[in-house]
Amino acid sequence: MKVLGIRRGLKYSPNLAGNDAAIFTAVMDELRAEGHEVSTIREEEMLAQDYGAYDRVVTMARSMATLSTLMDELKEREDVQEKFFNSVRGAVVCMNKSLVALQMLMSDIPQPAFRIGQDKKIIFDATNQKGKTGLRFPLWLKNSEGTATMSVDTLFCQTKKEYMEARKAYQEMGVSTWLVQDHVVGDLIKFYGVEGTGFFQWRYASKGHSKFGLEKINGPEAGYKFDAGQVQEYAEKLARALEVPIYGGDAVIDEEGNIWLIDFNDFPSFSSCRERAAKAIAERVVRS
């Protein structure tokens, strides 16, 4: 089988470039060890590539502009779209926090109350408070126009003043679409999985490397009991809906053991479980 691997650009691996490169290399090495013919390119080379020559395409690309252009080019080429792991569409959706929140809502996956904003107003309110935006502090403000590459892409706002200042900062950055998400108090966990393979792992967020240090806001873990299998069930359901079998994300466990998914990403670095993840990813890619 001929496999093409697409490396993630350094810009899209803030403080995690080494880890992202390591899982990519591990997956490519695993595929080679299984006897497959493997080639690799940088994501900057994606649009000039002839994908018809490959049986599978394993991509870690995160450029919204490049992936959106490629998605448009492949609209009439379902045979080529099916070669991608993760799907191009799924990768694009995962970079838009608002679209992920809407998909979780449609899939009946528990998440904090949220609102979607565009320019200067709320355009979708999922707080169950009719006629009101339902803003409750503290809350999170998230950029919905691309993967997080700077700390300002995800902001914790404890007061209305902080929220308005954050909104102003987004306006100055040219961010027109954003997500407002309630803050849930509890244990913050990170999870990783490969849909359909049985591979799933979670850890407390404080036990690993942090992109921007936001995990400390939830404070030390209390060790609330919860059903890890239920987290996996929610994650796999979302992975299938988004066509993102190689996934990672974040969830909060409250004091009653309730699970709240707060983030979902395509192809994370799997730094705490790289060897097992690489084998599972290779299995999923080859099996199709």
The predicted pLDDT at position 210 comes to 58
pLDDT tens readout for residues 129-146: 545 556 789 999 999 987
CA distances (Å), 175 to each of 12, 24, 221, 273, in order? 17, 30, 33, 35
- Mean pLDDT computed over 154-171: 94
User: pLDDT value at position 253?
Assistant: 98
3-state secondary structure of 22: helix
Residues 6+ apart with CB under 8 A from 50: none
> What pLDDT, on a 0 to 100 scale, did the predictor assign at position 212?
45
With left for phi above 0 and alpha for psi between -120 and 50, is residue 129 left, alpha or beta?
beta
219 phi-psi bin (left φ>0, alpha ψ -120 to 50, beta other): left
- In this structure, how many other beta carbons lie within 10 angstroms of the beta carbon of residue 88? 24
This prediction has a pTM of: 0.93
The residue type found at 144 is S
Residue 265: asked if its preceding bond is cis (omega within 30°), the reply is no
Evaluate if residue 240 carries a pLDDT over 70: yes
Mean pLDDT of 20-30: 97
Mean pLDDT across 46-72 = 95
Phi, psi of 115, deg, nearest 5? -140, 145
Q: In the chain, at which residue ranges do the beta strands (DSSP E only) sit?
A: 2-7, 37-42, 56-59, 84-85, 114-118, 121-126, 139-143, 154-157, 177-182, 187-194, 199-204, 246-253, 259-266
Phi, psi angle pair for 112, to nearest 5°: -65, 155
Instruction: Output phi, psi for 105, to 5 deg.
Output: -60, -45
Confidence of residue 127 (pLDDT cuts 50, 70, 90): confident
Per-residue pLDDT band for 67 (boundaries 50, 70, 90) equals very high
Q: Which of the residue ranges 9-13, 206-210, 221-225 has the most confident prediction, judged by mean pLDDT?
A: 221-225
Say whether the peptide bond before residue 138 is cis (omega within 30 degrees of 0).
yes
- Rounded Cα gap, residues 36 and 185, in angstroms: 47
Residue the block writes with tokens 């490397």: 209
Provide the edge-to-edge strand list for the sheet that holds 2-7.
37-42, 2-7, 56-59, 84-85
Q: Give me the mean pLDDT over the 236-261 stretch.
A: 98
Task: Read off the pLDDT of residues 267-284 as tens digits, 9 standing for 90 and up.
Answer: 999 999 999 999 999 999
CA 141 to chain centre: 16
Percent residues over pLDDT 70 in the chain: 95
Query: Distance of CA 125 to CAs 130, 143, 175, Å?
Result: 9, 17, 19
